[in-house]
Copies of this chain bind each other. A is one copy, B any other.
C-alpha cells in the first residue's frame, strides 16, 4: 500500500493555505442553496454514520463543500484528485484540516504520484466510492478486490465514467452497485448544458482575449456538453459549426440552424475548436494540415485524447507558450495552431480555471449527496451494476432548488392525475 501523504505534508505554509482554501469554500457555499439545505439535514440526522467514503474528484471549492457535507453527515472521507491539474492545493488543505477528512490531492503530480494518492485513499478501506471518471472504482476492482465485500456502493459523476462503467457492467466485471449520477436529468441538463457551456467559453475568452462574435466556433459532438457549448457560443454571436457521427444528433444540430459538416471540412474554416465527445482522435493530423493560422483548439470532454497532441507535436517545427495556458505549435508553412490547457478540460485545467459554475455543481452535488445517503439507507435494494438514480431522489433535489430560488409550481389535481392514467376518453 502507498504511503503517499496527505496534502498538508506537501505544503510549506499549511495554515495560510487552509485559510485561503476555507475562504474559497465559503464563497462557493454562499451560492449553493441545495448543499446548504442538505447540511442542515445531514448534520441533524447523521445518515452516513460509520461509513468510509473514498473519493477521486476535482478538488476545488465546490467539491469541497460536498466532501464536507458527507463528513458532516457522519462519514469518514478520504479524497484525491481525478486529474493531475485540477486540484487547488489550498482547498485540499482546508479539507484535510477537517477531523473526518483526509485529502491526498496535490496539484501537478506525476503519473506515479497520481496512482499513489489513489492507493492512499484506498488504504482507508472505503465502504462507498464517489468518482469523477471512475478511477476509484477501477483501482478497487483491479488492485484491491478484497475490499469489494464491504463496499455498499458508489456514485459516478461524469458521462465518460458512466460510459466506461456500463461497458464494465456488460462484461460482468462491475461487482458493486454504482449510481450513474451523470445520467440524471439534473446532471445532464444543468451541469453539462449550462455548466460546461458557460465555463468552457469563459475560460477560452479569458485565456485568449478573443471574442466569439462572428467567429467560426467548431463544436465536436452534439451530446449534452456539445449542445451547451453550441448554445452559449451562439448566444455570443458566434457562427457555430457542429461535427457529429450520429445521424439524429447531426440532424438535431442542423435543425437548430447550425452548420453541420465533417471535422476535416470544419478544420478549414474554424477559428475556435471545442471538443466534447468523450472519444479519442477527434482532431487529428489531417485536420491540423488544413487549419487556419491562429486557430485555437480546446477540449471540454473528459480526457486529453480528443485532440491528437502527439501528431500535432510531430508536425510542428517549433512549440512554445504563447500565453499562460496557450501552447503554440508552429507548422512548417508558418501557421500557428494554439492548444489551450494542454488539451485537457479547458474549464478545469486552464491556468485561471475555476471549473463549473458554483450553482450548477450545487445541483450535481446535491444529487451525489442524496445518492450516497440512499446507498446507506437502502443498500439491499441495489444489485452490483450501474444504476440510474431513482427518480424520487432527483426530484427531491429539484424541489429543494426551486424552493431555494423562490419558484412555485402547480400540482396535478386528482382529476388530472386520473386523466393522465386513463385511455378511454374520446375526441
Contacts and interface: CB of A to CB of B under 8 A. Distances in A.
Interface of A: 23-24, 26-28, 30-31, 61-62, 82-84, 114, 133-135, 138, 163-165, 167-168, 171, 173, 185-186, 189-190, 194-195, 198-199, 201-203, 205-206, 208-214, 232, 234-239, 243-248, 250-252, 254-263, 265, 278-281, 293-294, 303, 322-323, 326, 336, 352, 354-355, 357-360, 394-395, 398-399, 401-402, 405, 407-413, 415-416, 419-425, 427
Given A194-B213, A213-B194, A355-B209, A83 B410 contact: no
Contact of A412 (B190, B245, B416): B245
B394 A248 contact: yes
Contacts of A248: 185-186, 189, 394-395, 398
A73 B420 CA distance: 36
Contacts of A358: 209-211
A415 B279 CA distance: 10
Pick from A185, A248, A259, A419 the residue with the most CB of B within 10 Å.
A248
A279 B420 contact: yes
Nearest to A303: B427
B279 A198 contact: no
B83 A427 contact: yes
Contacts of A235: 232, 234-237
Contact of A199 (B205, B254, B359): B205
A410 B359 contact: no
Nearest to A198: B211
A410 B263 contact: yes
A19 B122 CA distance: 47
Nearest to A163: B420
Copies of this polypeptide in the complex: 4
Contacts of A84: 427
Contacts of A133: 427
A346 B209 CA distance: 14
Contact of A281 (B173, B203, B416): B416
A190 B27 contact: no
A105 B30 CA distance: 38
A205 B352 CA distance: 11
Contact of A357 (B171, B198, B210, B359): B210
Pick from A263, A294, A419 the residue with the most CB of B within 10 Å.
A419
Contact of A213 (B30, B203, B213, B256): B256
A232 B239 contact: no
A247 B395 CA distance: 6
Contacts of A168: 423
A398 B401 CA distance: 37
Given A194-B211, A234-B235, A402-B247, A164 B423 contact: yes
B415 A280 contact: yes
Pick from A168, A234, A354 the residue with the most CB of B within 10 Å.
A354
A424 B248 CA distance: 29
Given A186-B248, A214-B255, A281-B415, A243 B294 contact: no
A189 B252 contact: yes
B194 A237 contact: yes
Pick from A62, A210, A293 the residue with the most CB of B within 10 Å.
A210
A59 B12 CA distance: 36
Contact of A419 (B244, B247, B258, B280): B280
